[in-house]
Amino acid sequence: MLDIKFVRENSDIVKENIKKKFQDEKLPLVDEVITLDKEYREIKTKLDELRSERNKKSSSIGLLMKEKKIDEANTVKEEVKKINEEIALDEAKEPELAEKIKKIMMVIPNIIDKSVPIGKDDTENVENEKFGEPVEPDFEIPYHADILERMNGLDKDASGRTSGNGFYYLMGDAARLHEALISYARDYMIDHGFTYCIPPFMIHSDVVNGVMSFKEMENMMYKIEGEDLYLIGTSEHSMIGKFKDQIVKEEDLPITLTSYSPCFRKEVGAHGIEERGVYRVHQFEKQEMIVLCKPEESMEWYKKMWELSVGYFRSLDIPVRTLECCSGDLADLKVKSCDVEAWSPRQKKYFEVGSCSNLTDAQARRLGIRTKGSDGTYFVHTLNNTVVATPRGLIAFLENHYTKDGKITIPKVLRPYMGGKEEIVLK
């Protein structure tokens, strides 16, 4: 969420940013919120003046009564009564205007970084850099569901009976490998100085509204019936929410946390839920990272964070690339974002396994996360990034470690989490 003062003083920049995000339907909102803000500030000024006038008149009543000027005192009492009535009317308008302003400000997008490429949707995202050499094997790589079934590791028939489409049972070595990827990601991030945390897996609506746009919430979040609780779509939500309405110590910045959680998503949209495999599902697990930092450090942390994701996958001998998200593909709170994509030797192309985002002070402003420095109190910047999300990370691993003779090789860094196994022989 932008600062209303910024919108008021830079309406042309705000409108141009809306155009760059191809959200022209929001352009009238800028003038509307500026008009509402003007009215709101005028009412606040008027209320201050009326209260001051009332206080002066109220103080004079006692003196007039003391001087036996009863008629004059009664006249002033009537004047105070009228002022109170006027104050009551304006006090009723004040929160109504504030709520209207907030509602509009919540949908005006954050100002994107100058480096973001302009494009309408994800088809216009731009490749940044490749890490590792993509291998196109001279043998066929089976579909990941077939590999998992040959491990006796996937049962979607049973999950269909218990939970419906979009869920799965992982078993045996498949389940162990899935958790090994998460456990290794946890230790990898701890080794890089991040504090490990397991957060709540449900959050209140005010936290949801603080960390994401309403459109994202509707498409993603599952609500607990009859309660003000939502299942998290990513642990970033509750991790950022941890600092809601807090003034963190400036000397504690940057705050760097890595978290494990299950994630739950509706996955509403044209892409749909995958029928047979586990690429797009309603439930998955993830190791996440978040950073709270000073504004001048956020872009530096943005670079460090996606580099950590790249390093994780490269340590598993999985080629990856980073893809710069264009303006039209950025969620409204984000100023810059890139996807980390893993190489699929089966499809001979890259696919998304995580994303890194800088939201500057948008989430902090919504949630009231501040710090106090020598120049006063200010909003921190927040960033988030995926270390690994499974089963997508598992799919990338299986495809890149599948051998011609039907085995899955286990790289050295993962063997301690697999009981020392060097390979898995498929049936």
Cα–Cα distance, 98 to 107 (Å, whole number): 15
Cα–Cα distance, 46 to 29 (Å, whole number): 25
Q: Of 360, 392, 222, nearest to 296 (Cα)?
A: 360
Is residue 332 assigned to a domain? yes
Query: According to the model, what pLDDT value does residue 271 have?
Result: 61
Q: What are phi and psi of 177, to 5 degrees?
A: -65, -40
The band of 268, judged by pLDDT with boundaries at 50, 70 and 90, is low
Inter-CA distances, 417 with 110, 149, 193, 212, Å: 42, 22, 21, 35
Sheet holding 381-390, edge to edge: 126-131, 320-324, 336-344, 349-358, 381-390, 283-293, 255-264, 195-197
Same domain membership, residue 32 and residue 89: yes
251 C-beta neighbours (distance < 10 Å), count = 7
Same domain membership, residue 153 and residue 96: no
* First-to-final CA distance of the chain: 53
Is residue 9 assigned to a domain? yes
Same domain membership, residue 336 and residue 223: yes
Range 266-276 average pLDDT: 68
Res. 216: pLDDT tops 80: no
The percent of residues in the chain predicted with pLDDT above 70, rounded, is 98
Same domain membership, residue 316 and residue 169: yes
Same domain membership, residue 134 and residue 96: no
Query: According to the model, what pLDDT value does residue 182 have?
Result: 98
Query: Which residue, chain included where needed, has tokens 């070595």?
Result: 173
Is residue 99 assigned to a domain? yes
Is residue 114 assigned to a domain? no
Sheet holding 202-203, edge to edge: 202-203, 230-231, 222-223
Structural domain count, the chain: 2
Per the CB < 8 A criterion, the answer to whether 381 and 304 are in contact is no
Cα–Cα distance, 40 to 272 (Å, whole number): 44
Is residue 315 assigned to a domain? yes
Same domain membership, residue 157 and residue 25: no
Is residue 200 assigned to a domain? yes
Range 140-147 average pLDDT: 96
Same domain membership, residue 126 and residue 47: no
- The residue out of 105, 137, 168 marking a domain boundary is 105
Cα–Cα distance, 31 to 79 (Å, whole number): 37
Question: Domain of 374: which CATH number?
Answer: 3.30.930.10
**How many Cα atoms sit within 13 Å of 127 on the Cβ side?**
10
Res. 269: pLDDT tops 60: no
- The residue out of 52, 70, 105 marking a domain boundary is 105
Is residue 112 assigned to a domain? no
Cα–Cα distance, 182 to 354 (Å, whole number): 14
Which amino acid makes up residue 303?
K
Question: Domain of 46: which CATH number?
Answer: 1.10.287.40
What confidence tens digit (pLDDT) does each residue in 382-422 have?
999 999 999 999 999 999 999 999 999 999 999 999 999 99
- The residue out of 75, 105, 135 marking a domain boundary is 105
Pairing outcome for strands 370-373 and 376-379: antiparallel
Is residue 110 assigned to a domain? no
Range 249-261 average pLDDT: 97
The band of 136, judged by pLDDT with boundaries at 50, 70 and 90, is very high
- Torsion over CA: 139, 145, 150, 151 (sign): positive
Same domain membership, residue 198 and residue 151: yes
Q: Which two tokens stand for residue 264?
A: 């739950």
Per the CB < 8 A criterion, the answer to whether 260 and 286 are in contact is yes
Which amino acid makes up residue 120?
K
Residue partners of 1: CB distance under 8 A and separation at least 6: 105, 106, 108, 110, 333, 362, 365, 366
Q: Of 388, 392, 420, nearest to 185 (Cα)?
A: 388
The band of 370, judged by pLDDT with boundaries at 50, 70 and 90, is very high
Which amino acid makes up residue 360?
T
Q: Of 50, 116, 54, 129, nearest to 323 (Cα)?
A: 129
What confidence tens digit (pLDDT) does each residue in 32-89 have?
999 999 999 999 999 999 999 998 898 898 888 888 888 888 888 989 999 999 999 9
Same domain membership, residue 140 and residue 50: no
Same domain membership, residue 165 and residue 305: yes
Cα–Cα distance, 208 to 225 (Å, whole number): 16
Q: Of 404, 410, 414, nearest to 422 (Cα)?
A: 410
Same domain membership, residue 61 and residue 22: yes
User: What letters, b where the CB count within 10 A reaches 16 and e where it falls short, cover 321-338?
Assistant: bbbbbbbbbbbbbbbbbb
203 C-beta neighbours (distance < 10 Å), count = 23
Same domain membership, residue 37 and residue 176: no
pTM of the predicted model as reported, rounded to 2 decimal places: 0.90
Tell me which residue range forms the domain holding 207.
122-425
Cα–Cα distance, 280 to 271 (Å, whole number): 9
